[in-house]
Amino acid sequence: MATDTLAVGNASVALTAQGVSFVLAEQMEDSDSRQADGLIVRTIQGFGYSALSNGLPTFMDLLKAQGVISQRVFSFYFSNSSFADNQYDTESECIIGEIDTSKASGNIAYIPLYGTPSFWGVELDSVSLGDQSVDISADVAILDTGTSLLTLPAEDIYSLLSTFSHFGNCNIDANIGYIVCDCSQGVAPYPALRLSLGGYSFSLQGEDYFLQDKGKCVLLAQGSSLEIWILGNVFLRKFYTVYDMENERVGIAGAVAYSQVLGLIGLIITNSLVL
């Protein structure tokens, strides 16, 4: 282990914490067998709780302890800029130490964390597509900016397929492994996908959960061996989210504007939980 000073921001506005811990190694095994020349420096500092860092204080812990911020809270806003059209009029934001309510449309719904705080998990009550209930096996959903798509248990993927088939011709494409639906009439035949989280309902429309291409739609959801749902950027780009470590809760509100353009970058998949 080693420690160093970590600063986030630019020279004029920076949040700086002393004594941030890092892992140093000469070799590391991981799933893609990466090779590295020289010393590997791997941070254990994410935006989760210290349970994920073997009890060592996190970046957020240190910022508060050293008086840089008054509360361990941060939030994420994803802009409606379009990668496809090379439009970057509005920047996305990670706001540390406070909440920017100007990014929220309406009231922020606060949901207590599920179980012992580690990742940002909340209770997943139910899922429905229009008036059709989706039979799900998971009871926890994790909000995670390090995941691009919706990630859910493999059996829940098949439940989604069955439910989507009520509204159009859908199947799992053997070449890409994703649910593909007929969108020759656009996304209009497909209703809202509603997730009930901690007693609050949040909806994704067809333009949110589909990637459209030449009369076909790819559902932006992937199966996994985990028995949880991971709500990645497909969900987070529509909502302004607050992560309140002091009160062990997550806040969710509609974003003032969100991207309806999911370019191919939306299919870049990462399973690392950065929060």
Are 164 and 217 part of one and the same domain? yes
Are 30 and 93 part of one and the same domain? no
Q: Which pLDDT value is given to residue 267?
A: 36
Are 49 and 86 part of one and the same domain? no
Q: Which pLDDT value is given to residue 45?
A: 60
Q: Which pLDDT value is given to residue 12?
A: 76
Q: State which residues form the domain around 215.
A: 73-267
Is 176 contained in some domain? yes
Token pair 């011709």 is at which residue? Answer: 169
Is 91 contained in some domain? yes
Are 145 and 57 part of one and the same domain? no
The pLDDT tens digits for 112-171 are 999 888 889 999 999 999 999 999 999 999 999 889 999 999 999 999 999 999 999 999
Are 153 and 53 part of one and the same domain? no
Residues sharing a CB contact under 8 Å with residue 127, sequence separation 6 or more, in sequence order: 133, 134, 136, 193, 194, 195, 196
Q: Which pLDDT value is given to residue 118?
A: 86
Are 47 and 178 part of one and the same domain? no
Is the CA virtual torsion 70, 75, 80, 83 positive or negative? positive
Q: From CA 171, how far away is CA 159, in angstroms rounded?
A: 12
Are 83 and 50 part of one and the same domain? no
Query: DSSP E strands: which ranges in the chain?
Result: 2-9, 14-25, 40-43, 73-77, 93-96, 104-112, 121-129, 132-134, 140-143, 150-153, 170-172, 179-182, 193-197, 200-204, 210-213, 216-219, 221-224, 229-231, 239-244, 249-255
The pLDDT tens digits for 176-221 are 889 999 999 999 999 999 999 999 999 999 999 999 988 999 999 9
Span 99-103, mean pLDDT? 90
The pLDDT tens digits for 17-29 are 999 888 777 776 6
The pLDDT tens digits for 42-97 are 655 668 888 888 778 888 999 999 999 999 999 999 876 665 555 556 678 888 99
Choose between 58 and 32: higher pLDDT: 58
Give the domain CATH number at 149: 2.40.70.10
Is 140 contained in some domain? yes
Report how many domains make up the chain: 2
